[in-house]
Structure 1
Amino acid sequence: MTSRIARLFVLGLLAFASAEAFTQSPPPAPLPAWEKLTPQQREALIAPLRDRWNREPEDRPRMMERAQRWQALSPEQRAQARHGMKRFEGMSPEQRRQARALYGRMKELTPEQRAALRDQWKKMTPEQREAWMQENAPRRHPSREER
């Protein structure tokens, strides 16, 4: 009797596993290289950038400089940058404000000073962090909305 229950249990697991595999959608097909995209696909990708370029002429120099810096990055540096962008997108507005202030300050520091600031930041209370933010907040660009 117990062997029959065990067989039924195994058959049930197999049926469930095959049903689960059957209902899962296949992974999306890899997208082609830029040269293989249709004109409509290319347009969908570049339209937001073109709209921003036209809407914010005062930001054009900064946009161009960023594009040139991106081209100069190695594949590893680009992967790190993408990872950082994804982390930033997942932050709350307060976390973004703090990240901007820390990044702006750390750009000016030596590696040793950066490590010291990171250690100091970890030990600060929320009130101490807010005071530090008030003293070190980066200048906001007038055309940039909160992201």
Structure 2
Amino acid sequence: MMFRYRTRNPLPNAPRTRAPRRRLALLLACLAAPAALAGDPPDSPPSAPPPAWEQLTPEQREILIAPVRDRWNSEPERRQSMLEHARRWQELTPEQRRRARHGRHRWEHMSPEQRAQTRVLFQTMRGMDPEQRSALKAQWRQMTPEQRREWVERQRGEE
């Protein structure tokens, strides 16, 4: 099952994306939570690893759960997709989760032009077999920035 995320597209002619902004905010909050839960200042090195879930106080658990509960209650139409996303995340291996986090990090640091190019590349590669994808990747790496822009514009014109 594919998910569709509602996002604002910075480029009006670019295809819609699946950027999970709210989930990203929740993930970032959870990643920042261990330091807050442990009482360490944000810039200090962590003194000890965060406790296991069972060792958290009810207040600490509430800090972690509240954003999810708020989203669940405020977006009833998205509840099924939230459950499906959680199920799929649980099925990922640690390596797949690491790669997903790395991809999110790369996406956050892309310029709007790079994001637009990535969207077009993704849509184009979706219909390709692995050999075609490899060939396009090799071709892409050899292109100059101007050639990449021209390629993206040609692909958009074919849509």
State TM-score, norm by structure 1: 0.61
Once the two structures are TM-superposed, the CA of residue 133 in structure 1 deviates from its matched residue by: 4.1
Matched residue, 1:119: 138
Matched residue, 2:153: 130
Once the two structures are TM-superposed, the CA of residue 86 in structure 1 deviates from its matched residue by: 1.4
Once the two structures are TM-superposed, the CA of residue 79 in structure 1 deviates from its matched residue by: 1.3
Matches within 5 A, 1:26-37: 27-29=45-47, 30-37=49-56
- Gaps of at least 5 residues in structure 1 are 1-24, 137-147
The match for 1:80 among 99, 114, 126 is 99
Once the two structures are TM-superposed, the CA of residue 71 in structure 1 deviates from its matched residue by: 0.6
Matched residue, 1:15: none
Q: Identity rate of aligned residues, in percent? A: 57
Q: Mark the structure with the bigger radius of gyration.
A: 1
Deviations along 1:52-104, one digit per CA (max 9) or x if unpaired, are 22233333232222211111111111111111111122223333333334334
> RMSD between aligned alpha carbons?
2.5
In 2, are the aligned partners of 1:106 and 1:114 still within 8 Å (CA)? yes
Looking at structure 1, the residues matched to 83 and 158 of structure 2 have their Cα atoms a distance apart, in angstroms, of 30
The match for 2:69 among 50, 53, 77 is 50
Higher helix share: 1
Looking at structure 1, the residues matched to 108 and 71 of structure 2 have their Cα atoms a distance apart, in angstroms, of 19
In 1, are the aligned partners of 2:120 and 2:155 still within 8 Å (CA)? no
In 2, are the aligned partners of 1:88 and 1:96 still within 8 Å (CA)? yes
Looking at structure 2, the residues matched to 126 and 103 of structure 1 have their Cα atoms a distance apart, in angstroms, of 15
Matched residue, 2:84: 65
Once the two structures are TM-superposed, the CA of residue 110 in structure 1 deviates from its matched residue by: 2.3
Looking at structure 2, the residues matched to 31 and 117 of structure 1 have their Cα atoms a distance apart, in angstroms, of 44
Q: Is 2:114 the counterpart of 1:91?
A: no
Paired residue type of 1:130 = E
Looking at structure 1, the residues matched to 120 and 94 of structure 2 have their Cα atoms a distance apart, in angstroms, of 27
Matched residue, 1:100: 119
Distance 1:132 1:27, change over 3 A: same
Once the two structures are TM-superposed, the CA of residue 26 in structure 1 deviates from its matched residue by: 5.7
Q: How many residues align?
A: 112
Q: Which moved more, 1:63-72 or 1:102-111?
A: 102-111
Looking at structure 2, the residues matched to 115 and 62 of structure 1 have their Cα atoms a distance apart, in angstroms, of 32
- Gaps of at least 5 residues in structure 2 are 1-42
SS of the residue 1:125 aligns to: helix
